[in-house]
Structure 1
Amino acid sequence: MKHIGIVEDDTNIQNIVSAFLKKAGYHVTLLDSAEAGWKLWKKNPPDMWILDIMLPGMDGYEFCKRIRNESDVPIIIISAKDEEIDKILGLELGGDDYLTKPFSPRELVARVKRLFKRLDSTVQHKQKDDHRIKVGDLLIYEHDRRLFWKGKEREVTTKEFDLLLLLSQNVNRAFSREELLIKVWGEDYFGSDRAVDDLVKRIRKKLNHIPLETVWGYGYRLRDKEEPT
């Protein structure tokens, strides 16, 4: 049974979300602060977090950042903040999805199932002989989800890895921002394509001089300078 930690200080939302998730077959732990969530993480880490942003004490952004520094465990952010900049910030800090209050509990359950299905699919397709992809100084172990740049292993988020994997599997091909949103964030993502630009910016900062090129007015491509274009 998958374990979901819900960090939310509104007891009404806690109870409603918990009831729907339990009905869907998940084990749920309710927490009313990020500090309590952090203690749970150290003792009995959940398989997924559902996280409010507006919390007493440590806010959801800081909690998300701390978790993401240690793990790629899925995080769904729920918040009354519906400004685009708030959504972008939540995704930049490592959130896998963002729901604005008020939301449908059934929609939340559907998103939970989709995220778990994606993770389970990755595990099921893991092979004994790990598939390697090498593009210049970039080396990706696809099934172990490990990434090396110039011989050194680098820590990247789930979205950063997924984007680089997609581009390395299609080296020199230009992808539009809309294509990248669908393939990396999923067809049900309704945010701005600015999320793609922000993700690329973070990758370039982590992997200095990576040949991740901008195709002006269109999107991005990963260039293998050793191959003809």
Structure 2
Amino acid sequence: MERSIGLVEDDANIRDIVKAYLDKEGYQVEALDTAEKAWEVFQQSPPDLWVLDIMLPGIDGYEFCKRIRQSSEVPIIIISAKDEEVDKILGLELGGDDYLTKPFSPRELVARVKRQLKRWSVMQTEPSEENELIQAGELRLNETERSAYFQGNEVEVTTKEYELLKILAQHENRAYSREELLVKVWGEDYFGSDRAVDDLVKRLRKKMKELPLETVWGHGYRLRANRGSS
């Protein structure tokens, strides 16, 4: 099956080069220069993956990424000239699955596209009726819906927040290091700071104040099993 890719980049030279490499790999590429045009494509015929520049005229890449994540888990690879750690963390926390700093090798981008599409295929086929629900105390995760419930109430979580909850809920009481969580949530080829994990934990604690998500000092985090719940 031919995979489709939405490429959003306002630099015509970069856009043409990236499109040529993706075309060569057999992908169906929709090349766009603004997020406004990309949003129309997303609403009418959403692609299987987005390659998204951050610095765009009008709606920027951060906002576009945030909009997509309100209704879709489709992979997003962010490409940007902004290489500061805070920019990478922001892009990933808003829902990006990967972050590539300009200038980059088109071949490396193609490799990352293949990797994200492979992971996406696994995510779409992996959940079965047997493991549809993950229960950990008052936390319940629905794998089919990719939704989270705490104390009986649905909690809106991002893709990365959900993945972190899933890892910890499946292995209650196990202490995971920040490095382990970074690899499991972002993938082995992500070389950003483990502060991204701290930020995820901070967000989850704010959303679920009584969630027994504990800090293991000098190591990482764990989800304490059934602390005081019936």
> TM-score if structure 1 supplies the norm length?
0.94
> Which residue type is aligned with residue 62 of structure 2?
Y
Q: Which residue of 2 aligns with 1:142?
A: 143
Q: Kindly report which structure 2 residues correspond to 1:113-124, keeping only aligned pairs within 5 A, or say none.
A: 113-124=114-125
Residue 66 of structure 1 deviates from its aligned partner by 1.3
Unaligned runs of 5+ in 2: none
Q: Contact 1:122–1:143 (CA<8 Å) still a contact in 2? A: no
Q: Which residue of 2 aligns with 1:40?
A: 41
Q: Contact 1:7–1:37 (CA<8 Å) still a contact in 2? A: yes
Q: Kindly report which structure 2 residues correspond to 1:100-179, keeping only aligned pairs within 5 A, or say none.
A: 100-179=101-180
Residue 177 of structure 1 deviates from its aligned partner by 0.4
> Which residue type is aligned with residue 155 of structure 1?
E
Q: Contact 1:130–1:143 (CA<8 Å) still a contact in 2? A: no
Residue 172 of structure 1 deviates from its aligned partner by 0.5
Q: Contact 2:53–2:78 (CA<8 Å) still a contact in 1? A: yes
Q: Which residue of 2 aligns with 1:29?
A: 30
Q: Kindly report which structure 2 residues correspond to 1:1-229, keeping only aligned pairs within 5 A, or say none.
A: 1-226=2-227
Counterpart Cα distance in 2 of 1:209 and 1:23: 51
Q: Contact 1:181–1:196 (CA<8 Å) still a contact in 2? A: yes
Please give the secondary structure, in 2, of the residue aligned with 1:140.
Answer: strand
Counterpart Cα distance in 1 of 2:132 and 2:73: 20
Residue 140 of structure 1 deviates from its aligned partner by 1.4
Counterpart Cα distance in 1 of 2:31 and 2:38: 9
Q: Contact 1:80–1:100 (CA<8 Å) still a contact in 2? A: yes
Q: Deviations over 1:125-150 (max 9, x none)?
A: 33244432211110112344232111
Counterpart Cα distance in 2 of 1:76 and 1:197: 22
Q: Deviations over 1:20-77 (max 9, x none)?
A: 1111121110110111111111111111111111111111111111111222111111
Q: Deviations over 1:163-196 (max 9, x none)?
A: 1111111100100001111111111111000110
Q: Contact 2:93–2:160 (CA<8 Å) still a contact in 1? A: no
Percent identical pairs in the alignment equals 65
Q: Contact 2:136–2:170 (CA<8 Å) still a contact in 1? A: no
> Which residue type is aligned with residue 40 of structure 1?
V
Residue 119 of structure 1 deviates from its aligned partner by 1.5
> Which residue type is aligned with residue 61 of structure 1?
Y
Counterpart Cα distance in 2 of 1:124 and 1:69: 21
Between the two proteins, the alignment pairs up a number of residues equal to 227
Residue 226 of structure 1 deviates from its aligned partner by 4.5
- Which moves more between the two structures, 97-106 or 200-209? 200-209
Judging changes above 3 Å, is the alpha-carbon distance between structure 1 residues 123 and 60 closer, same or farther for their aligned structure 2 residues? closer
> Which residue type is aligned with residue 43 of structure 2?
K
Across the aligned residues of Structure 1 and Structure 2, the Cα RMSD in angstroms comes to 1.5
Residue 155 of structure 1 deviates from its aligned partner by 2.5
